Amino acid sequence: MTEGHAILVTGGAGYIGSHVVLALLDAGLRVVVFDDLSTGRPEAVPAGVPLVRASTGDATALRAALRDHGIGAVIHMAGSLIVPESVTDPARYWRNNLANTLVLAEACLAEGVTRLVFSSTAAVYGIPDRLPVDEDAPCRPINPYGASKHAAEQLLLAVSAAHRLDIVALRYFNVAGADPAGRAGQRAPGATHLIKVACEAALGQRAEVAIYGEDYDTPDGTGIRDYIHVTDLARAHVEALRHLAMGGGSVVLNCGYGRGHSVRAVLRAVEHATGARIRVRIAPRRPGDPPAVVAAAQRIQGLLAWRPAFNDLDAIIADAVRWERHMANQDRRHLWS
Active site residues: 145
**CB 54, CB 219: distance < 8 Å:** no
Q: What contacts 78, CB < 8 A, 6 or more positions away?
A: 10, 11, 14, 17, 34, 35, 36, 55, 56, 96, 100
Report the alpha-carbon distance of residue 83 to residue 74 in Å, rounded: 25
Is the peptide bond preceding residue 132 cis, with omega within 30 degrees of 0? yes
Report the alpha-carbon distance of residue 319 to residue 313 in Å, rounded: 10
Report the alpha-carbon distance of residue 145 to residue 117 in Å, rounded: 19
Tell me how many helices (H) and strands (E) the chain has. 11, 14
**CB 13, CB 42: distance < 8 Å:** yes
3-class secondary structure, 307: coil
Backbone angle region of 254, left / alpha / beta, with phi > 0 → left and psi within -120 to 50 → alpha:
beta
Which residues, in sequence order, are bridge partners of residue 228?
Answer: 175
How distant, in Å, are the alpha carbons of 82, 121, 168, 242, 297 from that of 304?
28, 18, 11, 8, 11
**CB 6, CB 30: distance < 8 Å:** yes
**CB 122, CB 171: distance < 8 Å:** yes
| CA triple 186-287-12, angle to 5 deg | 25
